[in-house]
């Protein structure tokens, strides 16, 4: 199949809507990441999504609608969901709600809930209006790769597997939506994103954050959100996060970098814009401004993709506090690093006191 990347003219949006109506897939820009969309009510079309991405069938999809009310035939919309939508929709929030029978099992992986999102990107909105269908769309990457934040990323992963990618520019948020479940006793964030727990608390009296957000699932533990079971976002090489006080983090990053180079490896440091000067003479990539986490979320996936394509062997990354948008950033970075972390403060202490074995390296 010939894949065309089209600027989002009214004609292109019309063609993309026709493709969706006839059971084809479309690459769709959203404010979070690009989606790989199909008519959510067409089981055969939705199966094509799983085949194109190489996605396990037990990982359910998000259904996109132009307004939350458009999801009324698909799920039971509670007052809490309406209150969240009034504040955050359209925007980077996905709400898990009890499903109705019209939703094909293939969309929900057989769960009794369905994930619903109202994207704010004008191209996604225009396409939803033009096709008049709910659109099931996961991120438009090959399963396991970082989510795509440009049309070119989508083309790179899925060329030949879909007829049209609408090019809506770089995704503004750059990380996938916040997923909140309203199906249990307490509203629970299953995946952190652009709508932070702090923001959710402006609307809800209480919010739980699933504790698997910042740690790996334990043996036998059931994932609340099936997507959290899989290894995600990982570049081909070995990425290590380095935490601790700033000066020690920079010292440890420089030391590990030099050791990797001496070992004949290719290496790169992922540093905040403000700290680039600390790594002069070394291969270093900016992951955005520490003081403005939205610049970090915006570019993180593009940086991880670049490192993957370069085939960099060893990567060492500075980290952010897991608060506000930092929670979503650290959730993705931790997964990309397979949760590998070095505590620079302990590491430095161990070096100045060599009789003590450092246990932080993993
Ligand atoms: O920003 C986004 O959410 C993007 C854009 C395209 O909207 N989409 C996206 O979809 O990231 P995907 O499929 O890559 O991630 C959806 C996540 C997965 O972790 C999935 O397991 C979870 O949502 N999910 C979907 N339906 C669910 C359900 N009924 N219950 C629990 N988790 C669900
Ligand atoms: Mg995904």
- Which is the closest atom of ligand 1 to the Cα of 117? 7
What was the pLDDT predicted at 331? 95
Residues lining ligand 1, CB < 6 A? 30, 32-33, 35, 59-62, 94, 96, 108, 111, 113-115, 117, 137-139, 176-177, 179, 190-191, 225-228
Instruction: List pLDDT tens digits, range 259-275.
Output: 999 999 999 999 999 99
CA dist., res. 224 & res. 277, Å (int):
42
Instruction: List pLDDT tens digits, range 172-199.
Output: 999 999 999 998 889 999 999 999 999 9
What was the pLDDT predicted at 224? 65
Residue holding tokens 């992963």? 157
User: What are the residue ranges in the chain where pLDDT is below 70?
Assistant: 222-233, 351-362
Give 51's Cβ-side CA count (13 Å radius): 12
The model's pTM: 0.94
CA of residue 144 to ligand 2 center, whole Å: 8
Closest CA to 186 of 202, 205, 203, 199: 205
Rg (C-alpha) for the chain, rounded Å, is: 21
Question: How high is the mean pLDDT of the chain?
Answer: 93
CA of residue 304 to ligand 2 center, whole Å: 15
Q: What is the DSSP string of 233-302?
A: S--SSEEEEEESSHHHHHHHHHHHHHHHHHTT--EEEEE-GGGGGGGTTS-EEE---TT-HHHHHHHHHH
What was the pLDDT predicted at 356? 44
Query: Candidates 226, 228, 232, 300: which one to mutate for ligand 1, based on the most atoms within 8 Å of Cβ?
Result: 226
CA dist., res. 239 & res. 104, Å (int):
39
Measured N-to-C along each axis, helices 293-310 and 151-158 cross at an angle, to the nearest 10 degrees, of: 30
Backbone φ, ψ for residue 113 (5° rounding)? -125, 165
CA of residue 52 to ligand 2 center, whole Å: 13
What was the pLDDT predicted at 361? 41
What was the pLDDT predicted at 184? 86
CA dist., res. 96 & res. 75, Å (int):
9
What was the pLDDT predicted at 357? 43
What was the pLDDT predicted at 31? 98
CA of residue 138 to ligand 2 center, whole Å: 5
Torsion, CA 196, CA 140, CA 224, CA 195, rounded to 10: 10
Query: Candidates 139, 148, 193: which one to mutate for ligand 1, based on the most atoms within 8 Å of Cβ?
Result: 139
């Amino acid at each position: 199949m010939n894949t065309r990347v089209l600027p989002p003219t009214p004609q292109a949006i019309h063609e993309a809507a026709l493709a969706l109506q006839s059971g084809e897939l479309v690459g769709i820009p959203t404010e979070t990441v690009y989606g790989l969309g199909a008519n959510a009510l067409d089981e055969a079309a939705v199966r094509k999504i799983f085949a194109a991405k190489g996605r396990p069938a037990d990982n359910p999809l998000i259904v996109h609608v132009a307004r939350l009310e458009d999801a009324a035939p698909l799920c039971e919309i509670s007052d809490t969901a309406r209150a969240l939508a009034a504040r955050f929709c359209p925007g980077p929030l996905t709400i898990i709600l009890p499903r109705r029978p019209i939703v094909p099992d293939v969309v929900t992986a057989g769960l009794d809930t369905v994930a619903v999102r109202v994207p704010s990107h004008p191209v996604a909105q225009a396409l939803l209006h033009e096709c008049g269908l709910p659109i099931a769309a996961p991120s438009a990457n090959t399963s396991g790769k970082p989510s795509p934040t440009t049309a070119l990323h989508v083309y790179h992963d899925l060329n030949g597997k879909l007829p049209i990618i609408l090019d809506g520019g770089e995704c503004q948020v750059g990380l996938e939506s916040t997923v909140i479940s309203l199906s249990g006793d307490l509203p629970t964030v299953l995946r952190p994103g652009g709508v932070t727990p702090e923001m959710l608390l402006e609307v809800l009296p209480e919010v739980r954050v699933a504790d698997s957000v910042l740690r790996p699932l334990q043996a036998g533990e059931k994932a609340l959100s099936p997507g959290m079971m899989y290894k995600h976002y990982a570049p081909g090489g070995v990425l290590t996060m380095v935490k601790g006080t700033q000066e020690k983090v920079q010292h440890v990053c420089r030391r590990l970098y030099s050791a990797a180079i001496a070992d004949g490896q290719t290496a790169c440091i992922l540093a905040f814009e403000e700290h680039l000067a600390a790594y002069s003479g070394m291969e270093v990539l900016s992951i955005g401004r520490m003081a403005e986490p939205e610049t970090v979320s915006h570019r993180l996936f593009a940086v991880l993709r670049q490192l993957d394509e370069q085939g960099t062997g060893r990567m060492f990354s500075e980290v952010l506090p897991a608060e506000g948008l930092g929670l979503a950033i650290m959730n993705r970075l931790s997964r990309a690093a397979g949760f590998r972390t070095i505590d620079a403060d302990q590491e430095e202490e161990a070096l100045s006191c060599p009789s003590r074995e450092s246990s932080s390296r993993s």
